[in-house]
C-alpha cells in the first residue's frame, strides 16, 4: 500500500514539474519576442516599407517634383517611395481618403474644401489627412488685353468672363475674388472655359477676360502675349487683406514686370501647391519625410524647386499641419509669417 502511495506521489510531482517547466519556457519565449528597448519594436511596425506620392499629369509640374521628392525620401529614410501620375488635387484628396496612398500634392484651397466637405466635396469630406507644408504659389491671374478697356475687377461687370473649366479650382477662386469686391457671378456673363479656350476666346474677341490659376508664366497666357498686348488686372491691397482674412489658404503674390511683356509688376493673390499626408503615418515617419525634403532641395532640378523652402512652408496652409511636420518646424523655429 505504501509502495503504491509513493508511486502516486512521484507521478504527481513529475507532472507538476513538467507543467512548471512548460510555463517557464513560455515566459522565456515571450521575453525574446520583444527587442531590447521595448518601444523600438512598435516604431519598426509603424514605419512602412513602401509609400507612394500622388502627383498630377505627366506634363504638369507636380509629377517631376514628385519624382524628385520620392528619390529624396527613399534615400534619406529607407522607405521605398515612388511618384504616381494622377488627376491632381481633387482626385488625390479622394485617393488619400480611401487609404490607397500616403502622400499627395494638392492646391491649398482644394485641400481646405476637402477637409471641410465643401464645393466638390460636399457630403464627402476628407477627414484623415494633414499637411506637410506648402511649396510654391499658383497665382490667380485675371487676364485681358489693352483693347478691352478693363483696368479693375469692378470693370468686369457686364463683361464675358471665363472662370475656368467646370469643377476646376479656378471657379471658386473667381467667385471669392468677386465676392470681396461686392460682386457675384450674376454680375458678369460667366463662361466656363479651360485656360487654352479662355486665351483663344480673348484673342478672337468672344470673351473679354479670364481667371487663370497657375504658376507663372503660364503657357496659355504666354501664347496670347505673342499676338496681343496682355493686361493682368491688379487686386487692391485692401481686397487682398479681406480675402486672406476670410480664406486663409490664400497668400499675397505679385506677377513680376516683364512677364507677358508687362511694364510693371502686378499685385494679386495665390493659392499654393502643397504636400498632404494621411494621418495613418506616424509622427516619426512624417518628421523624417519633412526633414528629408526640406534639407535636400538642392537635389530638385525642376525650376519650381527654387521657390520651395521650409521657412515658407507654414504660410497659407489652410488645414492642420501633421504633428511630425510641426515637430520639424518647431525645431527650426519656423512660424507663419
Q: What are phi and psi of 125, to 5 degrees?
A: -60, 150
Residues 179 and 237 placed together within one structural domain of the fold: yes
Please answer whether residues 128 and 294 qualify as being in contact, where contact means their C-beta atoms are separated by less than 8 angstroms: no
DSSP 217: S
pLDDT in the model for residue 46: 78
User: CA-to-CA distance for 312 and 136, rounded, in angstroms?
Assistant: 9
Question: Is 12 within a domain?
Answer: no
Distances (CA, A) of 176 to 85, 139, 203: 30, 14, 26
User: CA-to-CA distance for 182 and 176, rounded, in angstroms?
Assistant: 10
Domain housing 60: 48-136+273-332
In the numeric block, which cell numbers belong to residue 13? 510531482
Residues 232 and 176 placed together within one structural domain of the fold: yes
Q: Single out the residue of 132, 134, 94 nearest to residue 285, CA to CA.
A: 132
User: Helix, strand, or coil here: 30?
Assistant: helix
Residues 249 and 170 placed together within one structural domain of the fold: yes
Residues 191 and 310 placed together within one structural domain of the fold: no
Which residue matches cell numbers 466637405?
Answer: 117
Residues 105 and 217 placed together within one structural domain of the fold: no
Residues paired with 162 in a beta bridge: 191, 210
User: CA-to-CA distance for 128 and 118, rounded, in angstroms?
Assistant: 16
149 sits in the region (left: phi over 0; alpha: psi -120 to 50; else beta) called: left
How many domains does the chain divide into?
A: 2
Residues 195 and 210 placed together within one structural domain of the fold: yes
Residues 57 and 205 placed together within one structural domain of the fold: no
Question: Is 15 within a domain?
Answer: no
In the numeric block, which cell numbers belong to residue 180? 470681396
Please answer whether residues 243 and 269 qualify as being in contact, where contact means their C-beta atoms are separated by less than 8 angstroms: yes
Residues 289 and 212 placed together within one structural domain of the fold: no
Please answer whether residues 182 and 263 qualify as being in contact, where contact means their C-beta atoms are separated by less than 8 angstroms: no
pLDDT in the model for residue 15: 53
User: CA-to-CA distance for 18 and 22, rounded, in angstroms?
Assistant: 6
Q: Domain of 226: which CATH number?
A: 3.40.190.10
Residues 82 and 229 placed together within one structural domain of the fold: no
Question: Is 316 within a domain?
Answer: yes
Give the domain-ending residue among 230, 250, 271: 271
pTM listed for this prediction: 0.73
pLDDT in 10s for each residue of the chain, 337 residues: 444 444 444 444 455 454 444 444 443 333 333 333 333 333 444 799 999 999 987 767 889 999 999 999 999 999 999 999 988 899 999 999 999 999 999 999 999 999 999 988 999 999 999 999 999 989 999 999 999 999 999 999 999 999 988 767 788 999 999 999 999 999 999 999 988 899 999 999 999 999 998 888 888 899 999 999 999 999 999 999 999 999 988 989 999 999 999 999 999 999 999 999 999 999 999 999 999 999 999 999 988 899 999 999 999 898 999 999 999 999 999 999 8
Give the domain-ending residue among 224, 250, 271: 271
Q: How many Cβ atoms sit within 10 Å of the Cβ of residue 163?
A: 24
Q: Single out the residue of 94, 93, 69, 91 nearest to residue 79, CA to CA.
A: 69
Pairing of strands 103-107, 50-54: parallel
Residues 256 and 313 placed together within one structural domain of the fold: no
In the numeric block, which cell numbers belong to residue 31? 521575453
User: CA-to-CA distance for 132 and 143, rounded, in angstroms?
Assistant: 32
Question: Is 97 within a domain?
Answer: yes
Residues 284 and 175 placed together within one structural domain of the fold: no
pLDDT in the model for residue 165: 80
Give the containing element (helix H, strand E) for 106: strand 103-107
User: CA-to-CA distance for 254 and 216, rounded, in angstroms?
Assistant: 10
User: Helix, strand, or coil here: 125?
Assistant: coil
Question: Is 2 within a domain?
Answer: no
Question: Is 28 within a domain?
Answer: no
Residues 92 and 199 placed together within one structural domain of the fold: no
CA 157, 217, 55, 248 dihedral sign is negative
Q: Single out the residue of 312, 309, 286, 287 nearest to residue 296, CA to CA.
A: 309
Amino acid at each position: 500500500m505504501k509502495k503504491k502511495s509513493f508511486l502516486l506521489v512521484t507521478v504527481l510531482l513529475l507532472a507538476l514539474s513538467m507543467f512548471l517547466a512548460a510555463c517557464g519556457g513560455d515566459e522565456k519565449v515571450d521575453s525574446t519576442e520583444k527587442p531590447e528597448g521595448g518601444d523600438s519594436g512598435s516604431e519598426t511596425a509603424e514605419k512602412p516599407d513602401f509609400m507612394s506620392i500622388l502627383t498630377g499629369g505627366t506634363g504638369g509640374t507636380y509629377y517631376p517634383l514628385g519624382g524628385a521628392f520620392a528619390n529624396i525620401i527613399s534615400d534619406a529614410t529607407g522607405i521605398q517611395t515612388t511618384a504616381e501620375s494622377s488627376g491632381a488635387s481633387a482626385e488625390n484628396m479622394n485617393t488619400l481618403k480611401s487609404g490607397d496612398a500616403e502622400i499627395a500634392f494638392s492646391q491649398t484651397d482644394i485641400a481646405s474644401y476637402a477637409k471641410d466637405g465643401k464645393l466638390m466635396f460636399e457630403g464627402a469630406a476628407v477627414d484623415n489627412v494633414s499637411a506637410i507644408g506648402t511649396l510654391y504659389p499658383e497665382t490667380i491671374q485675371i487676364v485681358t488685353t489693352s483693347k478691352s478697356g478693363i483696368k479693375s475687377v469692378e470693370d468686369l461687370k457686364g463683361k464675358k468672363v471665363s472662370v475656368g473649366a467646370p469643377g476646376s479650382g479656378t471657379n471658386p477662386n473667381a467667385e471669392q475674388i468677386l465676392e470681396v469686391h461686392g460682386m457675384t457671378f450674376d454680375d458678369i456673363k460667366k463662361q466656363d472655359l479651360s485656360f487654352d479656350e479662355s486665351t483663344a476666346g480673348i484673342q478672337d474677341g468672344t470673351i473679354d477676360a479670364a481667371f487663370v490659376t497657375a504658376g507663372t508664366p503660364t503657357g496659355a497666357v504666354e501664347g496670347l502675349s505673342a499676338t496681343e498686348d496682355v493686361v493682368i488686372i491688379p487686386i487692391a491691397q485692401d481686397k487682398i487683406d479681406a480675402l486672406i482674412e476670410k480664406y486663409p489658404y490664400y497668400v499675397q503674390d505679385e506677377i513680376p514686370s516683364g512677364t507677358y511683356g508687362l511694364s510693371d509688376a502686378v499685385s494679386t493673390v495665390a493659392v499654393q501647391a502643397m504636400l498632404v499626408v494621411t494621418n495613418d503615418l506616424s509622427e516619426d515617419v512624417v518628421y523624417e519625410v519633412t526633414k528629408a525634403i526640406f534639407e535636400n532641395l538642392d537635389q530638385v532640378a525642376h525650376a519650381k524647386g527654387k521657390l520651395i523652402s521650409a521657412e515658407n512652408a507654414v504660410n497659407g496652409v489652410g488645414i492642420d499641419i501633421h504633428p511630425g511636420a510641426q515637430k520639424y518646424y518647431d525645431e527650426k523655429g519656423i512660424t507663419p509669417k
